[in-house]
């Protein structure tokens, strides 16, 4: 059972992360759900729509809509599955990769600037240590 102190830290961290996430999303040009799909395809390579849906914990029909929108924009292309003729794979197009990199650059650029302007050198070092701890928690 978590201690009262751990529960309080968890609440503060969740609130702060939510606020920061919403602020960073103001820099987005592509809707968050679509950016997530592009990011997954970038990290994992080509995937079926069903695998994408499972990864994002959404219904396959919802993912099919998202993939369809990305295909209409030329950000994702579909190709035949190499071993199962009933399936197809979705993968990033060159335009999709460029759009994803631009989106990541906008987000990271805003955050890097905020870190530089708002935090002291000591606070930046502390934030770097905290980022590693948060990554460890996320992997649990």
In this predicted model, what pLDDT tens digit does every residue of 11-47 receive, in sequence order? 999 999 999 988 888 877 888 889 999 999 999 999 9
Rounded to whole angstroms, how far apart are CA atoms 124 and 17? 17
In sequence order, the 6+-apart residues with CB closer than 8 A to the CB of 99 are 30, 38, 75
In sequence order, the 6+-apart residues with CB closer than 8 A to the CB of 41 are 47, 52, 76, 90, 91, 92, 96
Q: Which domains does the chain have, with CATH numbers?
A: 31-139 (1.10.10.10)
Report pLDDT digits (tens) over 82-140: 998 899 999 999 999 999 999 999 888 999 999 999 999 999 999 999 999 999 998 88
């Amino acid at each position: 059972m978590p201690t009262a102190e751990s529960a309080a830290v968890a609440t503060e961290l969740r609130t702060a992360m939510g606020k920061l996430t919403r602020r960073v999303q103001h820099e987005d040009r592509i809707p968050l759900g679509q950016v997530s799909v592009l990011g997954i395809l970038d990290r994992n390579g080509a995937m079926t729509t069903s695998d994408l849906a499972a990864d994002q914990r959404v219904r396959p029909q919802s993912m099919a809509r998202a993939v369809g929108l990305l295909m209409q924009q030329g950000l994702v292309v579909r190709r035949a599955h190499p071993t199962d003729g009933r399936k197809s794979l979705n993968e990033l197009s060159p335009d999709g990769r460029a759009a994803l990199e631009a989106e990541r650059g906008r987000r990271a650029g805003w955050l890097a600037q905020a870190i530089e302007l708002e935090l002291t050198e000591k606070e930046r070092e502390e934030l770097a240590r905290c980022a590693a701890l948060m990554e460890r928690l996320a992997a649990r």
